[in-house]
């Protein structure tokens, strides 16, 4: 097991560009009412830095660890989603929603289906149902179905991220802790977007959404450092 302290010491320097890019986003705080390619670049820059963070471990690392590669691909779709959401008021909200839906599918695939953790899945299903029930009165047209599917997908991703977390009575790895924390923050970010858009204005919504979102993506990227599934284990599982 790699301790969090060891991970911070070894991986911290590789995350410096991400932290700088995140600071640039919050310092500039460009108005969302004036979308532009420059706005999109500044918003996506921290995610680009997480691409570089994973690539800094070598292309061979990504090729040897299917779960890490899926997280990388998920980050690519995340950047596309971020770019589309810059123009959400111009009709590109659904495009961003679809990009992040694909992201959650790649992340869930990266986290895997073992252990199954049915009780955790049941809790996540109940929370997903509750969130959708609260959002439902504000939904209309295609969003009635699209938001329902999206809530199901992000909840499924959260279930798979948290399934392996064992804090009591068993050894745990940085992978599970980072993945679980990242998934939880991602859900907070996306539910804030949903309630702010479809139900009622959330105070300081943009700051809350973006701070939890960037933290979530960083933690999920970090979870790939101590990858769960070397390519040999992946091929053996497929064979079985």
145-162, pLDDT tens digit by residue?
Answer: 999 999 999 999 999 999
Give which of 210, 174, 216 is closest to 74, Cα–Cα.
216
- CA 100: distance to chain centroid? 8
Residue 178 falls inside a structural domain: yes
Report the pLDDT value the prediction gives residue 225, as an integer from 0 to 100.
Answer: 84
Average pLDDT over every residue of 169-182:
78
Largest separation between any pair of C-alpha atoms in the chain: 53
Whether pTM > 0.85 for this model: the answer is yes
CA distances from 19 to 6, 45, 52, 229 (A): 19, 10, 13, 28
For the chain, give the percent of residues with pLDDT over 70.
Answer: 87
Rounded Cα distance, 206 and 93, in Å: 15
* Count of helices and strands (H, E) across the chain: 11, 0
Rounded Cα distance, 185 and 58, in Å: 27
Structure-token pair, residue 112: 């895997």
Q: Total domain count for the chain?
A: 1
67-94, pLDDT tens digit by residue?
Answer: 999 999 999 999 999 999 999 999 999 9
Residue 232 falls inside a structural domain: no
Residue 233 falls inside a structural domain: no
Boundaries of domain holding 93: 4-227
216-231, pLDDT tens digit by residue?
Answer: 999 999 999 865 555 4
Q: Which helix (H) or strand (E) holds 169?
A: none
Residue 132 · residue 151 · CB < 8 Å:
yes
178-204, pLDDT tens digit by residue?
Answer: 999 999 999 999 999 999 999 999 999
Residue 201 falls inside a structural domain: yes
Rounded Cα distance, 85 and 88, in Å: 5
Residue 235 falls inside a structural domain: no
Residue 239 falls inside a structural domain: no
Query: Mean pLDDT in the chain?
Result: 90
Residue 237 falls inside a structural domain: no
The angle formed by the CA atoms of residues 179, 175 and 216, to the nearest 5 degrees, is: 25
Residue 236 falls inside a structural domain: no
């Amino acid at each position: 097991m790699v301790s969090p302290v060891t991970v911070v010491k070894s991986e911290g320097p590789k995350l410096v560009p991400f932290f700088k890019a995140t600071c640039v986003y919050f310092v500039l705080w460009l108005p969302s009412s004036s979308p532009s390619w420059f706005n999109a670049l500044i918003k996506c820059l921290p995610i680009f830095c997480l691409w570089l963070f994973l690539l800094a471990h070598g292309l061979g690392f990504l090729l040897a660890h299917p779960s890490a590669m899926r997280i990388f691909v998920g980050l690519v779709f995340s950047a596309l989603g971020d770019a589309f959401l810059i123009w959400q008021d111009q009709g590109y909200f659904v495009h961003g929603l679809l990009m992040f839906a694909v992201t959650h599918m790649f992340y869930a695939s990266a986290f895997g289906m073992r252990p199954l953790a049915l009780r955790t899945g049941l809790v996540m299903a109940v929370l997903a149902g509750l969130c959708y029930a609260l959002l439902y009165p504000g939904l209309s047209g295609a969003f009635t179905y699209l938001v329902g599917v999206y809530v199901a997908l992000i909840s499924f991703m959260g279930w798979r991220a948290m399934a392996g977390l064992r804090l009591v009575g068993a050894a745990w790895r940085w992978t599970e802790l980072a993945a679980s924390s990242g998934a939880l923050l991602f859900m907070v970010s996306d539910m804030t977007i949903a309630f702010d858009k479809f139900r009622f204005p959330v105070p300081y919504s943009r700051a809350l959404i973006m701070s939890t979102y960037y933290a979530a993506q960083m933690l999920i990227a970090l979870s790939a450092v101590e990858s769960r599934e070397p390519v040999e284990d992946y091929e053996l599982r497929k064979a079985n």
